[in-house]
Structure formats: C-alpha cells, structure tokens
Amino acid sequence: MDELEPVALPIDGTLDLHAFRPADIKTLVPDYLEECRRHGIFQVRIIHGKGTGTLRRTVHALLGRLDMVAGFRLADETGGSWGATLVTLREEERRPSAR
C-alpha cells in the first residue's frame, strides 16, 4: 500500500476539518494549534461542520485536554455558527535565556 503524502496546510488561523478523516483529528488539531502559536496566531477557527455533532463533540473534548488552549466557544452567525469553534490559545511562555 502506498503511503499518502503529507498535506501542506496554510497556517492562517482557520482549520477546515471537512477534508480529513475523523481518525486524523486527534493529531491534526493539536499540531495545527501548535503551529498557529509558533506563527503568533492565538485566535483560531476550527470548522467541523454542523452534521450530527459527533465531530464537534470530539473537537471540544480534545480542546478541553490541551494546555495550550485558554478557552473555546461556538462561533456566532458570521463565523459559522455551531458548525465552527473559536479557540483562544495561550501565548508560549518565554524561557529566560542562559547567561
């Protein structure tokens, strides 16, 4: 079986999960959020769709366990309503440089 090539995602603060398998979400979401922090993006929108709510619940459970997440909530009508979640990330702590 051929290995799938990694998909390059733009790090722009919006992650649309429609193109991914549910099995990929548990690693994709934390990896994407960490890359956002590295790029100085601390407000992220995750689009999970409305559907049955299973993916939304999975995403919310995952976000609730991540230390880098300061908070999250469903988007308003202009941001995707209950088909998207807005995430606030904690800024990385600056470690003192060794002298």
Phi, psi of 47 (to 5 degrees): -95, 115
CATH number for the domain spanning 52: value is 3.30.1370.110
In the block, tokens 């979640």 appear at 85
The answer to whether position 38 is within a domain reads: no
pLDDT > 70? residue 1: no
How many domains is the chain built from?
A: 1
Tokens for 81, please give them: 């309503």
Task: Write 58-64 long-range contacts (CB < 8 A, 24+).
Answer: 58/22, 58/25, 59/17, 59/25, 59/29, 59/85, 60/85, 62/25, 62/26, 62/29, 62/30, 63/29, 63/87
The answer to whether position 23 is within a domain reads: no
Tell me the whole-structure pTM to 2 decimals: 0.84
The answer to whether position 4 is within a domain reads: no
Enclosing domain of residue 53 = 10-16+43-91
Tokens for 16, please give them: 């649309």
Q: What percent of the chain has pLDDT over 70?
A: 86
DSSP 85: E
Across residues 31-48, what is the average pLDDT? 97
Q: pLDDT tens across 44-91, in order?
A: 999 999 988 999 999 999 999 999 999 999 998 877 788 999 999 999
